[in-house]
Structures are given as structure tokens and as C-alpha cells.
């Protein structure tokens, strides 16, 4: 399995690309292929009305946000998710080179952004909001293992909120961030604009953060354990530099 994963990850690309309208990417190690193999994601549908709130949306839908990066030289979109009432997690390349970040919720409500900071080690960013966020999920008790189900919720192509499902295939060495180490590999479909989406387990708890996909359609996740370690380190994140 690891040999097959290694071949697939050799073609890994960020889930957001400039040509797909997803913003300015951070500098990456060479060589990094730029090919993207689109996969069709199913539309979101509520299957269990018992989990719906009075506004007709479930907790998974309410915690996901669309992030619009009005950049120094471009306009892009990505995804993110709340981890508490005023904190969002997304990818570093979603918020990079930003002049203004615009955050909106599942029901189209705009959320005022306060500050944003990015990690040096992994493709992660933290966004603090001035307005309260409608919902946030629990974090899982640990990283998943091969065969575990995974659900990805985000805004591919900057469009409608979408949920895709798959399984965890295994782990592999991160092909884009040499110092990060092991990342999760899944077959849950993602698209440009899915970067920063939450990956959830069967109970709706966060197990990782989508940041890339491979040429054959597999998705790459920063594991929950890495996210937790970095959130616990005050020196792990640096404030985003505004346009000059």
C-alpha cells in the first residue's frame, strides 16, 4: 500500500490553484506538478431530519464557512471551519497574500474578521472573528486509522456547501511540506476551493484539515494531532502580513 501511496503522492497538488481561482500559493519545494484531476462531488442533502436545527441546517453545515480572499493581486476562495465561537481553522495558502478576508456562513451571513495568522510548519492558518460563529464541532480523541470513514464539508469552487464521503486509505510522508512528516490520505473527493475544509469522523468530530489532492483524486489531510500540537504552541503561528 505504501508503495502505491508514494506513487500517488508524487503527483500531489494543493486543493486550491491559481488557475482555478483559489489564490496565491505559498512557495513550495521543487518539483511540484500542477496537474489537477477533477472529481465530481455529490450535492449536500439532509438525510436525518432529527439532527436539523429550526433553520433547517445540521451542525456540520453550520460550522463550515466560505472564505473569500481579496488578495494583493488576485481574488480567491477557500473553506474553513470553526473550532470555537470566535476561531476558524483553514489553510495557509487560503489566506496568504491577503488584503481583505471575507467570511460567510452556510446561510449567507457575513462574519467580521479580526486577525489571521499562518503556520510555518504546516499548511494551516487561524482566523479570529469579531462576530460569533454559529456552530463548531468537537475534536476527535485521536487520529483515524486506515479503513475509518471520513466526511469532508466545504465550499468547492467557492460554490454551494458540499459534503463528500470516503475512507482513510493510510498515511504517507507529506510531499509539499518537508518538515511536517506524516499526513492522512483519503479517497473523499475534494476540489479547488475545498482547501481548509474539515474532515470528520463518523460521529461528526474533526480528524483533520484538507489541504491538497493528488492527480488521481485522493485527498490529503493535516492530521488532528498536528493541528492540536500547533494550536497549543504560541510560537507556531505568525500574523498575516498585509499588502504593502
Q: What span, in angstroms and rounded, lies between the C-alpha atoms of 45 and 185? A: 25
32-36 long-range contacts (CB < 8 A, ≥24 apart) are 32/175, 32/176, 33/215, 35/11, 35/215, 36/192, 36/213, 36/215
Q: What span, in angstroms and rounded, lies between the C-alpha atoms of 230 and 114? A: 20
pTM: 0.77
What are the tens digits of pLDDT across the range 138-152? Answer: 899 999 999 999 999
Domains defined for the chain, CATH in brackets? 2-14+35-43+137-229 (2.40.10.10)
> CB neighbours (10 Å) of residue 144?
22
Are 216 and 200 contacting, i.e. CB atoms less than 8 angstroms apart?
no
What are the tens digits of pLDDT across the range 55-114? Answer: 455 777 788 999 999 988 888 899 999 999 999 999 999 998 888 999 999 888 999 999
Tell whether omega for the bond before 31 is within 30 degrees of 0, i.e. cis: yes
Residue with cell 490529503: 220
Amino acid at each position: 500500500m505504501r508503495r502505491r501511496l508514494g506513487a500517488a503522492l508524487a503527483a500531489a497538488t494543493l486543493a486550491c490553484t491559481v488557475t482555478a481561482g483559489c489564490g496565491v500559493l505559498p512557495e513550495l519545494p521543487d518539483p511540484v506538478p500542477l496537474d489537477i484531476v477533477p472529481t465530481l462531488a455529490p450535492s449536500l442533502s439532509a438525510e436525518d431530519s432529527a439532527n436539523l436545527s429550526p433553520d433547517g441546517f445540521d451542525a456540520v453545515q453550520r460550522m463550515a464557512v466560505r472564505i473569500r480572499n481579496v488578495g494583493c493581486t488576485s481574488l480567491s476562495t477557500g473553506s474553513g471551519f470553526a473550532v470555537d465561537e470566535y476561531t476558524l481553522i483553514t489553510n495557509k495558502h487560503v489566506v496568504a497574500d491577503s488584503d481583505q478576508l471575507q467570511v460567510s456562513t452556510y446561510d449567507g451571513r457575513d462574519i467580521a474578521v479580526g486577525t489571521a495568522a499562518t503556520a510555518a510548519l504546516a499548511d494551516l492558518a487561524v482566523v479570529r472573528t469579531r462576530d460569533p460563529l454559529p456552530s463548531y464541532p468537537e475534536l476527535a480523541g485521536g487520529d483515524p486509522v486506515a479503513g475509518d470513514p471520513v466526511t469532508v464539508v466545504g465550499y468547492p469552487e467557492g460554490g454551494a456547501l458540499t459534503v463528500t464521503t470516503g475512507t482513510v486509505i493510510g498515511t504517507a510522508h507529506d510531499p509539499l511540506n518537508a518538515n511536517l512528516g506524516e499526513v492522512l490520505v483519503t479517497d473523499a473527493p475534494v476540489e479547488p476551493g475545498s482547501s481548509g475544509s474539515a474532515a470528520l469522523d463518523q460521529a461528526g468530530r474533526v480528524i483533520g484539515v484538507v489541504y491538497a489532492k493528488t492527480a488521481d483524486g485522493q485527498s490529503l489531510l493535516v492530521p488532528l494531532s498536528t493541528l492540536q500540537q500547533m494550536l497549543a504552541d504560541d510560537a507556531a503561528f505568525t500574523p498575516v502580513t498585509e499588502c504593502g
